[in-house]
């Protein structure tokens, strides 16, 4: 642990109310869950699991597990903001969920940015005015190259890029965007500083966050047991988040799928 980073004190959140007791953005979640259910063959777990008609969408399981682990604080508005970041339901996450990201030249053509060199390097240097928008049809700008400065954070990039997304309702955004789990390797790249500042954690991934929240609440990594696991959607998502998981079911097909899901998780 470095500098003034807060310590993870076992049981410090033992009696803290869980976030899910105070809030859950059900409308947004419902939209996301519907998109996942409609993905059919694009779903993460085997189609054989559709034998269970009450199969729980993975995104709903993620929300419930995180909602149980996260504390409700005195600042519920910020709690919600952080929760939505963890769920990839915040505006900046949609930059990564969008099918294509805007290139620096496209950003400079559309947005007012002053000064440009706070965000971009220009080659040859000095060949652009230092304020956008830029009219790239000007022949004098042919051959000018623009790139992100290496010290511009992913959060800053996304804050600019999100301004280029179309103005639509949340439902329309979800319809046009990819599901969070389709871009899970990058979608959360911008959130960890804000998450850690709010929760006093030191995480850079879900398994790290979940382990720290488990220690704060229970003194150890969270354990999830689902003894009626059916298609295994709940234990799969719990394992993917970093919980220790136990699952069983009376139905032998569920047990067969369970070992298959376990293999999927290990391959990630
Ligand atoms: C509603 S399904 C679970 C669906 C699951 N949550 C999902 O997302 O796919 C209920 C499961 O309970 C199992 N079950 C019922 N009675 C049981 C028992 N006594 N012991 C273990 N499993 C049982 C059934 O085989 C069934 O798979």
Reported as half-sphere exposure (CB side, CA atoms, 13 A), residue 1 has a value of 9
Measured in angstroms, how far is the CA atom of residue 267 from the centroid of ligand 1?
26
Contact 66, 241 (CB under 8 A): yes
Query: How confident is the model over 186-205, as pLDDT tens digits?
Result: 999 999 999 999 999 999 99
Look at residue 53 in the predicted model and tell me its pLDDT.
Answer: 78
Measured in angstroms, how far is the CA atom of residue 229 from the centroid of ligand 1?
5
Residue 249: CB within 6 Å of ligand 1?
yes
Of 211, 215, 219, 216, the closest CA to residue 244 belongs to: 211
Look at residue 54 in the predicted model and tell me its pLDDT.
Answer: 79
Contact 64, 20 (CB under 8 A): yes
Residue 46: CB within 6 Å of ligand 1?
no
Phi first, then psi: give them for residue 242, nearest 5 degrees: 115, 10
Query: How confident is the model over 109-150, as pLDDT tens digits?
Result: 999 999 999 999 999 999 999 999 999 999 999 999 999 999
Query: How confident is the model over 78-120, as pLDDT tens digits?
Result: 999 999 999 999 999 999 999 999 999 999 999 999 999 999 9
- As a whole number of Å, the CA-based R_g of the chain is 22
Look at residue 267 in the predicted model and tell me its pLDDT.
Answer: 45
CA distances (Å), origin 108, targets 45, 92, 116, 140: 41, 18, 8, 16
pLDDT over threshold 70, residue 2:
no
Measured in angstroms, how far is the CA atom of residue 249 from the centroid of ligand 1?
6
The pTM of the full predicted model, rounded to 2 decimals, is 0.91
Query: How confident is the model over 202-259, as pLDDT tens digits?
Result: 999 999 999 999 999 999 999 999 999 999 999 999 999 999 999 999 998 888 876 6
Contact 143, 4 (CB under 8 A): no
Token pair, residue 163, equals 């301004």
């Amino acid at each position: 642990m470095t500098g003034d980073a807060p310590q993870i004190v076992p049981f410090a959140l033992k009696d803290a109310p869980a976030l899910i007791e105070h809030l859950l953005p059900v409308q947004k979640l419902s939209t996301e869950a519907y998109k996942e259910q409609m993905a059919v063959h694009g779903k993460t777990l085997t189609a054989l699991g559709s034998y269970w008609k009450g199969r729980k969408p993975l995104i709903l399981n993620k929300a419930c597990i995180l909602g149980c682990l996260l504390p409700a604080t005195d600042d519920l508005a910020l709690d919600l903001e952080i929760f939505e970041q963890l769920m990839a339901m915040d505006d900046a996450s949609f930059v990564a969920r969008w099918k294509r990201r805007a290139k620096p030249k496209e950003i400079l053509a559309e947005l007012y940015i002053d000064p440009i060199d706070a965000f971009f390097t220009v080659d040859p240097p000095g060949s652009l005015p230092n304020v956008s928008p830029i009219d790239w049809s000007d022949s004098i700008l042919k051959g000018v190259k623009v790139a992100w400065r290496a010290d511009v954070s992913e959060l800053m990039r996304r804050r600019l890029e999100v301004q280029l997304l179309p103005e639509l309702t949340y439902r329309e955004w979800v319809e046009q965007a990819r599901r969070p789990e389709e871009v899970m390797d990058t979608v959360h790249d911008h959130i960890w500083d804000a998450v850690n500042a709010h929760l006093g954690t030191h995480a850079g991934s879900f398994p790290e966050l979940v382990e720290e929240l488990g220690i704060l609440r229970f003194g150890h990594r969270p354990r999830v047991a689902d003894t009626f696991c059916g298609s295994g959607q709940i234990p799969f998502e719990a394992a993917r988040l970093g919980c220790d998981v136990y699952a069983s079911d009376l139905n032998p097909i569920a047990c067969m799928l369970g070992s298959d899901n376990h293999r999927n998780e290990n391959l990630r």
